[in-house]
Chain A
C-alpha cells in the first residue's frame, strides 16, 4: 500500500518535472529563435521589400478588424463613461476618460489581442505549413537561411505594424467616443476636446502607450513565429500551434501589460 502511494507520488512528481523541463526547453528555444531573428535581421532592412510585403500581410490586412473594433470600443467607453461621470457632475471629462483609457491601455492591449488572433495565427499557420510541406527544408537545402528569409522579415513587420495599428486604434476609438458623447448624448464639444488636450500628456500617456505596443509587437510576433517553427509537421500539429499562438500571446500581453504599467506608474 505504502509502496503504491510512493509510486504514484513519484510518478506525479516526475510528470510535473517532465512538463517543467519541456516548458523551459521551449522557452530557451524561443529565446534562441529571437536572438537569431535579431542577428539575421540585416537582410530584412537591406531588402526592405521583403519586410514591406509582410507589413502588408500583417499590418494592412489587420486594418479592418482594428478600425471596426476601435470604433465600437470607443463608443462603448463613451456610453459607460458618461453613465458614471454624470453621477458626479463631471460629464465634460468624458473626452479625457475615453482618450486616456484608449491611449494608455485599451489601444495597445486590444490591438495586441486582435493582432494575435488575426495576424499571429496567420503567421503560425503559414510557417507551420511551410514546414509541413518541406518549404523550409527546401530553402535550407538551397543554402538560403530560413531565419533570415522567413523569420526576420515577419518579425520586423510585426514590430513595425503594432505601434501603428495601436495608434490607429486609439485615434478611431476617440472618434467613436466623440460621436457618442457629442452628437448623440450632447456633451459640449469644446469641453470634450479641451479637457482631452489639457489632460493627455505626450510623455506619460502617448509615449508609454507606444512603448507598450512595441513590446507587445515583439512578444506577439515572436510567439507566432516560434509556434509556427516549432509545430510538428502534421495537420494536427499546425492546428495546435495556431491555438497556442492565440492563448500564449493573449496571456503574455495581459501579463506584460501589468508589468509595464507598474513600471510606468512608478518611474
Chain B
C-alpha cells in the first residue's frame, strides 16, 4: 500500500490550445502538509480542481487513494470527494444559511445523522475554530478571517482524509493569518489528514508546510522542505522566497520598446 494519498503523474492540462501544466509530477504523503506555491496564474488552483475531479487532465493522471480521478464515474468521483474537504479562497459560504447551517450542510446532505448529533458535531467543529459563539450569525455578518474559519470548520465537518486549501491566507490581517495558519497545522495533525495548501504567502506557508512544490511555466521548478528552499540558489525560487522585484519573473510585461512607443 502506497504511503501517498495523492499522486500526480506526468500531468498536462490546458485549454484553448494553451498548456497550463506540462508533465507535472507530485506526491502528497499521508498526514503531511504539502504546499504548492507559485505566482498568480501559474495554475495552482487548477491543480486542486484536477485533484478534486472538477476538470479532466489533457494527459497524465491524478490518483487519489489509488483511484485515477478522471476515470471515475460521477458517483465514483462523488465517493472520492466524500473523503476530501476544501477551503475556498473566499470561503464560499452559502450566503442564505447561518454559520451553524453552513457547517451542518455536508452532514445533513451526506449522512443520516440525527439532528441532535449534528448539533453537537457542528458546535464541536465551530469550537475547534473558535467560533462556537458565532453559530447564529449569517455569513454577511462575519469578517474575512471569521468567514475563512467557518469555511474551515465546514471543510472538516466530515473528518476528511485530504484537506485542500486554496489561498487560505489571502486578504487576511496578521492576526487572522496566524490563527488560520495554526488551525491548518493543528487540524491536520488532530485529524490525521493530509493537507494540500495552494498559496503564494511564503512566510505563513513555510511555517506549517512539511514539503513545498514550486510551480512556474507549467512545470515543477523546485521542491523540497521549507528549509531547503529558503537556502535555494535557483533564481526563480530566490526571487519568489525573498520577494524580489525583478528576476526570472520580470517586472515589466513584454512590451515594445518604451522610447519608440512614446515617441512613435
Centre residue among A129, A135, A138, A140 by max chain B CB count within 10 A? A138
On whether the beta carbons of B81 and A143 are closer than 8 Å, the reply is yes
Other-chain residue from B90, B95, B109 in contact with A142 (beta carbon distance below 8 A): B109
Residues of B within 8 A of A (CB): 52, 54, 78-79, 81-82, 84, 86, 88-90, 92-95, 105-106, 109-110
A212 at the interface (CB under 8 A from B): no
Report Cα–Cα, A140/B81, bound state, in Å.
8
Q: Is the CB of B88 within 8 A of A134?
A: yes
**Given the known A-B contacts A133-B90, A149-B109, are A141 and B81 also in contact in the complex, defined by CB atoms under 8 Å?**
yes
Contact A137 B81 (CB under 8 A): no
Q: Is A247 an interface residue (CB 8 A)?
A: no
Fill in one digit per residue for A128-170: 1 if any B CB lies within 8 Å of its CB, else 0: 0100011101101111110001000000000000000000000
Extra 13 A-B pairs, beta carbons < 8 Å, given A134-B90, A141-B86, A145-B78? A133-B90, A133-B92, A134-B92, A135-B93, A138-B86, A138-B88, A140-B54, A141-B52, A141-B81, A142-B110, A143-B81, A143-B82, A144-B109
How far apart are the CA atoms of A144 and B95 in the complex, in Å?
17
CB-defined contacts of B90 to chain A, threshold 8 Å: 133-134
> Which residues of chain A have C-beta atoms less than 8 A from B95's C-beta?
129, 133, 135
Do B89 and A143 touch (CB < 8 A)?
A: no
| Contact status A144-B110, CB under 8 Å | yes
Smallest Cβ-Cβ distance to B110: which chain A residue: A143
Q: Is the CB of B105 within 8 A of A141?
A: no
Tell me whether B109 and A141 are in contact (CB under 8 A): no
Q: For the side of the interface on A, what is the size category?
A: 10 to 19
Q: Which residues on B sit within 8 Å (CB–CB) of A135?
A: 92-95
A149 to B95, CA, bound (A): 15
Residues on A with beta carbons closer than 8 Å to the beta carbon of B105: 142, 144
User: Can you list the 5 inter-chain pairs with the closest CB atoms, starting with the nearest?
Assistant: A138-B92, A134-B92, A143-B81, A143-B78, A141-B86
Query: 12 A-B residue contacts at CB 8 Å?
Result: A134-B89, A135-B95, A138-B86, A140-B52, A141-B52, A141-B54, A142-B81, A142-B105, A142-B109, A144-B109, A144-B110, A149-B109
Q: A133-B95, A134-B90, A135-B94 are in contact. Are A141 and B110 (CB under 8 A)?
A: no
Q: Are B109 and A137 in contact (CB under 8 A)?
A: no
In the complex, the answer to whether A137 meets B88 with C-beta atoms within 8 Å is: yes
- Most chain B beta-carbon contacts within 10 A, residue among A137, A145, A149: A137
Give bound CA distance, A219 to B73, whole Å: 31
| A143 and B92 form a contact (CB under 8 A) | no
Question: Which B residues lie within 8 Å of A134 (CB)?
Answer: 88-90, 92
Contacts of A138 in B (CB 8 A): 86, 88, 92, 94
Nearest to B88 among chain A residues (CB) is A134
Q: Which residue of A lies closest to B86 (CB)?
A: A141
* Docked CA distance A149–B78 (Å): 14
Tell me how far the C-beta of A39 lies from the nearest C-beta in chain B, rounded to whole angstroms. Answer: 12
How many angstroms between the C-alpha atoms of A133 and B88 in the bound complex? Answer: 9
On whether A143 and B94 interact (CB within 8 A), knowing A138-B86, A138-B88, the answer reads no
